[in-house]
Amino acid sequence: MVVGTLDGHNLSNLHVGWVRDQVGLVGQEPTLFADTIAENIAHDDFQTKVGKRGLQLLAKYLGLSEKSDYRAGILVGAGFRFAQGVIFCSLVSKATILFEDMFMVIICIMFSAMSLGVTSQNIADSSRVQEAARRVFDTLDRVSPINAGTTSLRRLASPTTTGKILQSVKGDLELRSVTFAYQNRKNTLIYKHYSLTIPSGKTVALVGASDCGKSTAIALIERFYDPWKGQVLLDGHDFRDLNFTWLCEHISLVSQELLLFMGTITENIAGGKPGATREDIVRAAQMANAHDFIQAFPQQYDTSVGDRLSGGQKQRIAIARAILRDPEVLLLDEATSELDNESERIVQESLDRLLALKKRTTVVVAHRLTTIRNTDIIAVAHEGKIVE
């Protein structure tokens, strides 16, 4: 009985650990890619694809776990039966015990051992599971202070219905007397009465030392955060007065973080525009200098995104997504900072093509001169202020 209990406990441990590791890979994506998901939040088609992909992987891993448990059950059961059979034959042959009594003892030992093995694991995990579930549901039920059109993260994929929708967008951006600090560093102000004007159709480069607030400006324009004081304006309208879903559709971000979702190359590019045709996707990839390396894969545009893609290739797919989306406001946050010289040259060509498509309002955050050489305005940031 002791051996059976230990075996049941160990098998349960192995099963729980394996499922936790595998399913955790699916659950990591929304956490790691939070900004990218928020940047694409208006696109229900794209979110549906990502959700289905996660459910498919979850079903796959649970199916594999079920098969593994089935095989383990057969092996453990066969071992028990063999050992019990030997003991049974020995005792019956010596007339030490009756057949009915032996059968009853075997059944009791078998069910008691397996039940104790599973129960011991459940008791140990119950408190941890309850705490983890509480945190998950607290997060799901939290009301977003940014996306006021949804009641909680459970409905984050639903289009917002509150806020103004402008009939046309010129692209004039302004940060007006903004004061801001991050929640985890409330005592460290990033901006104090910070002001920046970005004219419509112009390309503005934000340069400066690290931690001077360049990327924070991008985050505020994307409305990842709202300022503590002051306003962020689009064509004279406060971001907080505009429909959140509509706003997301007119702003696109290409960042230094090379974030792609699990799925095919086609699904990642098409995330920029619901209902995009295959021709639209291929055209965007060609303009982003991505078509040639995509065609070199055996499955071409149906290739699953994974480790086989280099940093430069991932960045070009992100640029293709932005080209397909064709936004009125484009944000480039250190888009080439993590690339080697050759990859930077190719990606920079892609960015130049994107900027040449039409006169759009563009904000560029960069350290390298090659990235800002064709900008209309260069703003130098220092300690949360524009100094030049």
Q: What is the pLDDT of residues 275-290, one digit of tens each?
A: 778 888 888 888 877 8
Question: Which carries the bigger pLDDT value, residue 44 or residue 281?
Answer: 281
Q: What radius of gyration, in Å, describes the C-alpha atoms of the chain?
A: 29
The CA distance from 182 to 33, in Å, is 19
For the segment 121-128, the average pLDDT, to the nearest whole number, is 70
Asked, for residue 166, whether it belongs to a domain, the answer is: no
In the prediction, which pLDDT does 50 show? Answer: 55
Same domain, 279 and 212: yes
Number of domains in the chain: 2
168 in a domain, yes or no? no
Q: Note the pLDDT of residue 34.
A: 52
Report pLDDT for 155.
45
Residues 183 and 139 in one domain: no
- 367 versus 193: the higher-pLDDT residue is 193
Same domain, 144 and 100: yes
Q: Domain range holding 375? A: 173-386
List the CATH number of the domain containing 247.
3.40.50.300
Give a yes or no: residue 255 inside a domain: yes
For the ranges 11-20, 97-106, 289-298, 337-346, the lowest mean pLDDT is seen at 11-20
Report field, pTM of the whole predicted structure over 0.75: no
pLDDT of the residue at 11: 47
**131 and 245 co-located in one domain:** no
Assess whether 179 and 150 both reside in one domain: no
Residue 351 lies in a domain: yes
Task: Please count the other Cβ atoms lying within 10 Å of the Cβ belonging to residue 376.
Answer: 12
Of 209, 201, 145, 137, the C-alpha closest to 173 is 201
pLDDT of 353 higher than 60:
yes
Please check whether residues 151 and 181 belong to one and the same domain: no
Specify the pLDDT at position 36: 55
Q: Which of 4-8, 27-31, 234-238 has the highest mean pLDDT?
A: 234-238
122 and 221 belong to one structural domain: no
Of 113, 105, 52, 30, the C-alpha closest to 77 is: 113
Please give the Cα distance from 228 to 180 (Å, whole number): 5
Across the chain, mean pLDDT equals: 71
Q: Within this chain, do residues 144 and 211 fall inside the same structural domain, yes or no? A: no
In a domain, 167, yes or no: no
- Residue 177 pLDDT class (50, 70, 90 cuts): confident
H helices of the chain, in order, are 2-32, 34-39, 44-93, 99-141, 214-221, 244-249, 265-270, 278-287, 291-295, 311-325, 341-356, 369-372
Give the pLDDT confidence score for residue 49 in this predicted structure. Answer: 57
Q: What is the pLDDT of residue 303?
A: 79
The verdict on 209 and 127 lying in the same domain is: no
Domain assignment of residue 162, yes or no: no
Give residue 337's pLDDT.
62
What's the whole-number mean pLDDT along residues 26-31? 48
Question: Region 107-133: what's the mean pLDDT?
Answer: 73
Predicted confidence at residue 252, as pLDDT, reads: 81
**What's residue 306's pLDDT?**
65
Same-domain check for residues 15 and 51: yes
Query: Encoding tokens for residue 72?
Result: 């383990």
| 44-53, 181-190, 345-354: the lowest-pLDDT one | 44-53
Average pLDDT over residues 256-277: 75
pLDDT at 293: 82
The rounded distance, in Å, linking the Cα atoms of 293 and 353 is 18
Instruction: Let me know if residue 164 belongs to a domain.
Output: no
Q: Is the pLDDT of residue 232 over 80?
A: yes
Instruction: Identify the domain boundary among 155, 187, 215.
Output: 155
For the stretch 197-229, pLDDT in tens is 888 888 888 877 777 777 888 888 888 888 888
Q: Measured at the alpha carbon of residue 371, what is the angle toward residues 368 and 374, in degrees to the nearest 5?
A: 130
Same domain membership, residue 177 and residue 126:
no
**Residue 167 CB coordination number (10 Å):** 4
pLDDT (0 to 100) of residue 137 = 80
**The tokens of 74 are what?**
């057969």
Domain final position from 124, 155, 186 = 155
Q: Residues 72, 151: one domain?
A: yes
pLDDT tens-digit readout, 292-351: 888 888 888 887 776 567 777 777 888 788 778 878 888 887 766 656 666 667 767 777
Residue 100, domain member (yes or no): yes
